[in-house]
Structure 1
Amino acid sequence: MDPALPRVVIRYEIPEAERFCAQDNTELVEIGVEVSERLDIVPQKIQVLRHERVKYACLKCDHGLKVAAVPLRIIPRGLFTEAALAWIILSKFMDGLPLYRIAALLRRFGGDISRNTLAASVIRVGQAIQPVINLMRDVLLDSEVVHGDETTVQVLKEPGKAAQTKSAMWVQMNGVGPPVRLFSYAPGHDAKYGAAFWAGMREHAALMSDGGAVYDIIAEANGLTHLGCWSHCRRYFFEAEALLPKQARGPHQPATQFLQLIGKLYAAEARAKKMVVLRRAVMRHRYSRRVLKEIRALLDQHLETTLPSGKLGQALGYLSGQWPKLCRYVENGLWPICNNAIENSIRPFVIGRKNFLFSDTVVGAKASANLYSLVETCRANNIDAYQYLIDLFKALPNASTADDYEALLPWKLGKSAAVPAPSHS
């Protein structure tokens, strides 16, 4: 079991009257212990912290009244402690529990809290952390590589839109520097909605995406180098190969041939993962470029003779249309081969969306985006999100300067809350 978990020792002793040798009646001495461990779980415990502010008064006049001060709170006169807020937020944004289930769980332990009360507190916390989110965005936009993707979200009460229409959650992550994951709400998936999230990016930085036209527009508007995703390309060929009858499959099939060549690109990246950037660039120049030439030759061989409506035709069409963007990663040892990393960051949101289905208001959607950003950035930095959120919620009301807020970034404030490395013993 994880050695970092706290231990409660339960010691079993032989009664004193029995600590004698059965052979010669000599008193036995302790020579060690036999150890076995069982995992125990303590259910949630709900309690009320009663705050009593002591008052003092002058006995001779009416002008000497004083009341003891209390610490500032992230939600002034809020119902929940910082630890309770952290638990609620992680239950929703890390564990994927909708608020009505969290309310039901609390009732099992004696806390009769309505879903509306929980929602109001989550929104207020999501708004209060905006200064930290702004600094995280500054770090992301200064990166030499940024990944981008988006997924759908439904907002019931959005001005000018029917409740059934879909809006978008835009997601960004940096490829260089302290890991940052940013979720941003917008009314749609078009470039006009997402462009603001990329404004201010470092000049000549690289943008890794699924190759969609919306990112072509964003890259051109911001002077970015647009990189294509080989994982998206590979999926098309997997789908084409999966449709083949088992008896027809084999290395002679074009889909299989493409998959084998793309596999060589990924195998090279796996070998180069721990290389310094310059050495990785050399490897790509010497090896990956040759593989790309083989892929191009195979593409030219089949593109004109394959029906575009079939799965293989769709795969070839995607590869042909994305070719310049797919090849660019070999020009720089810092650039990624695919967009898998950001898809992994989106997955918790997608899982949560299956449970909570929608946001009620735009304000709620934006607050959720901020909290997902914080939780996923903690995860990316290997930080204990629960302890970090408690520390953040206590410190944030006292922050007033740029330096104060910068000290609250996850990779700075969360150093003491780093998750221990797993044991391999």
Structure 2
Amino acid sequence: MKNDEKITISKSEYISMKEQIAELSKKVDWFMEQVRLAKHHQFGASSEKSQYDQINLFNEAEATADEAKAEPELVEIERHYRKKAKENADRLPPDLPVEVVEHTLPKDKQKCPECGEALHIMGKDVRRELKLIPAKAVIVEHVRYTYACRDCEKNACGVPILKAPVDNPVIKGSFASPEAVAQIMTQKFVMGAPLYRQEQDFRRNGIYLSRQTMSNWLLKCSEDWLEPVYNALREILCTREVLHADETTLQVLHEPEKTAQNKSYMWMYRTSGEEQHPIVLYEYQPDRRAKHPAEFLKGFRGYLHADGYKGYHNLPEGITVVGCWAHARRKWDEALKVLPTKDRENSAALQGKRYCDGLFDIECSLQKLNSNERFQKRQELAKPLIDEFFAWLKSLNPAPKTSLGQAVHYMIKQRRYLERYLLDGRLEISNNRAERSIKPFVIDRKNFLFANTPRGAKASAVIFSIIETAKENGLNPYAYLVYIFKNAPNWDIHNNINALELLLPSNVPESCNSAAR
């Protein structure tokens, strides 16, 4: 056997090689983390719900058994029965019109088969069905009559001419109706049906309505009638003391000085959960710079829930940014998922996640308290746990580029924002309220994919704002839009603030309410 060849190297070269090996080992570990995380994103469940403190179906007996505990005594109780509760039972509104179809015997059959005498009705069976009729189109002709006086025509020098009053149309010179525009808007922004699909559906029913015409209707009605309502809601929003904010990407094809592939942004601002009349507003912007929320929230003074994006941390004095523990918890969840399954139990990632879970458990127990009581309980329960959490973080020294290192670094960097929800009982532990409000836009974005122009993106933001605010206030979006488009052209809302206020969700009639409220 041939002897292995020996190579002599200097001590400095040995140290250098050892450092290179250690560095390469760290890179391999990092790449393996990314592979495991990518596999989880592709094949695993997206839920971040903790599983490690829950009883598994397959080991429930082993986990809960206590052989040392005595058997309980059996106590006989009176047998009783309960009706099974019906959850999510189908139900129909009581005011639906009823179409009665009577099934009778033909006249020549209404004779007794035995004696031939006439039969009489002795009873009836009733079967009810839900009949769905596809939307139908109706042409509405507004015939406006003109009146004149016959006597004045014969005897007077002048003849007075009177015209019957008629409401202004939603778009002058157009055959658009309030109902048609509201239907197209709700189909696009509530049901996620792009205009080209609506065009195809209309065509199948013999109605040739191009998407260009529909686009013109949406833009015109948004700019003329919805923007004033949007601006009024924005003024009200900035008077509130607690708000939430979030943002997501949007592709705009024809944007000045930008390629179609560049990202634009849709920002979202909304009121807190304690508002009687919630407001949800979207704003299109070509980028993610911090000046946009500063301009939108001009005049606002109070607390703003946001994620860890540093743009929110440069807002004007008077706006106190409150961090999101859901984002912090997500870092620990990812750090846990990149570990091999055998290494997860008793890991630092699991411990960090359990600290976060503990804080959320405390919040769940405080939901029914008022803001003052919640503030006091947080000082007693949450604050000590947060102090313990950050003291534990200081004892860790993970590699900065690992998922665990990123989770620790994020927590330490965001500490002053994460702790701020303790300052006021009206504040929330997370910014999930904003994420839930921006989710409808994200879902619809998968259908319409992009906006064509900045003008279209702005109109979409305004329409989405009116619709989502309507939904938050328990209104039927279609009925609310019809109410606006019927009344706004006739109330001079651009010059009469009192008329404009009548269009706000808090002042609309009950006919706009949703049946599901």
Fold conserved between structures, TM > 0.5: yes
**C-alpha distance in 2 between matches for 1:370 and 1:414:** 22
Contact preservation (8 Å) 1:179, 1:381: yes
State the Cα deviation string for residues 270-299 of structure 1 (Å, max 9, x = none).
Answer: 222221111111111111112212321221
The question of whether the paired residues in 2 share the 8 Å contact of 1:210 and 1:228 is answered with yes
In the alignment of these two chains, the number of paired residues is: 408
Q: How high is the TM-score relative to the length of structure 1?
A: 0.89
Matches within 5 A, 1:341-380: 341-380=433-472
- Residue 331 (structure 2) aligns with: 236
Q: Is residue 202 of structure 2 the alignment partner of residue 106 of structure 1?
A: yes
Answer yes or no: is 1:173 the counterpart of 2:270.
yes
**Unpaired segments of 5 or more residues in structure 1?**
20-26
Q: Which amino acid aligns with 2:131?
A: D
**Structure 1 residue 130: Cα displacement:** 1.3
Q: Which has the larger displacement, 45-54 or 125-134? A: 45-54
The one-letter amino acid of 1:378's match is A
Match of 2:140 among 49, 74, 84: 49
Q: Give the counterpart of 1:196 among 292, 295, 315.
A: 295
Distance in structure 1 (CA, Å) of the matches to 2:126 and 2:230: 47
- Report how far residue 136 of structure 1 moved: 0.5
Matched residue of 2:385: which SS?
helix
**Counterpart for residue 4 of structure 1:** 93
Matches within 5 A, 1:81-160: 81-128=177-224, 129-160=226-257
SS of equivalent to 2:169? coil
2:281 equivalent in structure 1: 182
Kept in 1, the 8 Å contact 2:375–2:425? The answer is yes
- 1:383 aligns with 475
Aligned partners of 2:125, 2:386: CA distance in 1, in Å? 60
SS of equivalent residue, structure 1 residue 210? coil
What is the one-letter code of the residue matched to 2:271?
N
3-state secondary structure, aligned to 1:106: helix
Give the secondary-structure state (helix, strand or coil) at the position aligned to 1:148: strand
The structure, 1 or 2, with the larger RCO (C-alpha pairs under 8 Å, 6+ apart) is 1
Shift of 1:246: 2.0
> Which runs of 5 or more structure 2 residues have no equivalent in the other structure?
1-89, 113-119
Q: Quick one: structure 1 residues 274 and 79, their matched pair in 2 at CA, closer, same or farther if it must change by over 3 Å?
A: farther
The aligned amino acid for 1:152 is T
Distance verdict in 2 for CA 1:414–1:347, change over 3 Å:
farther
Please point out which of 390, 409, 421 is paired with 1:329. 421
Q: 1:270 aligns with which of 360, 364, 369?
A: 364
Amino acid at match of 2:298: A
Measured in 2, the distance between the counterparts of 1:145 and 1:369 equals 22
Separation in 1 of the partners of 2:279 and 2:268? 11
Deviations 1:25-44 (A, max 9, x none): xx9865xx876654332111
CA distance in 2 between counterparts of 1:174 and 1:80 reads 34
Check the 8 A contact 1:181/1:376 in 2, yes or no: yes
Tell me by how many angstroms 1:412 deviates.
1.7
User: How large is the RMSD of aligned CA atoms in angstroms?
Assistant: 2.5
TM-score, with structure 2 as normaliser: 0.74
SS of the residue corresponding to residue 149 of structure 1 reads strand
Query: How far is 1:151 from its partner?
Result: 1.3
Secondary structure, counterpart of 2:463 in structure 1: helix
Indicate whether 1:292 and 2:381 are aligned: no
SS at match of 2:414: helix
Structure possessing the higher radius of gyration over alpha carbons: 2
Question: Could you tell me how far apart the structure 2 residues matched to 1:117 and 1:335 are?
Answer: 45
